[in-house]
Amino acid sequence: MRPGRPRCPRRIENEPDVTYFKPRGVPLDGLDVVILSLEELEAVRLIDLEGMEQEQASQKMGISRRAFWEDLQGARRKIVEALVGGKAIEIKGGSYMVEAKRKFRCYDCQNEWEEPYGTGRPQKCPECGCMNIHRHPDDRGYSRPVRGGRGRCFRGVEETP
């Protein structure tokens, strides 16, 4: 029997700083744990926190609407299971890649910000509106990451434990 089709890595904006939540007053050793993958967390964040439409969010993650919907439903199910059942939530693993960004600096107001690749060069500073902006000195000389393979998946990206 042939193995199933490999799962396409999802693009996420960043890895969370906090990766574990548990009910208050319950010792850790007595808790069941629900594992929420980073791409599931990203799906919930884009829809429920950022307020994006499913089409826009699936494009941002680089996957089909159906794959996005499955990630979103899985995440919501796990979150509700943990809340209703008094379980801990651990955020880890999955098949993802952190979205690459470019850094810019305004040389009038010294504002620094990031823009994702593929959005074009900013025309003005988002803080002061001036046009005296350049790539950040720490970000010069780097180019867009090369993605190999065929199709929509980014082949060669390893699944993170």
Based on the fold, state whether residues 118 and 85 are members of the same structural domain.
no
Based on the fold, state whether residues 106 and 119 are members of the same structural domain.
yes
Give pTM, 2 decimals: 0.65
Based on the fold, state whether residues 89 and 117 are members of the same structural domain.
no
- Interior/surface letters 13-28, b for 16+ CB within 10 angstroms, e for the rest: eeeeeeeebbeeeeee
Based on the fold, state whether residues 91 and 105 are members of the same structural domain.
no
Number of domains the chain contains:
2
- Structural domain harbouring 123: 101-139
The domain spanning residue 67 has which CATH number?
1.10.10.10
3-state secondary structure (DSSP) of residue 61: helix
Q: Residue 121 carries which side chain, given as an amino acid letter?
A: R
How confident is the prediction along the chain (161 residues), in pLDDT tens digits per residue? Answer: 556 777 788 988 888 889 999 999 989 888 999 999 999 999 999 999 999 999 999 998 989 999 999 999 999 999 999 999 999 999 999 888 887 778 889 989 999 888 876 677 888 999 999 888 888 787 765 444 444 434 445 444 444 44
Burial of 137 (C-beta count, 10 Å sphere; 0-12/13-18/19+): exposed
**Is 49 a domain residue?**
yes
**Is 155 a domain residue?**
no
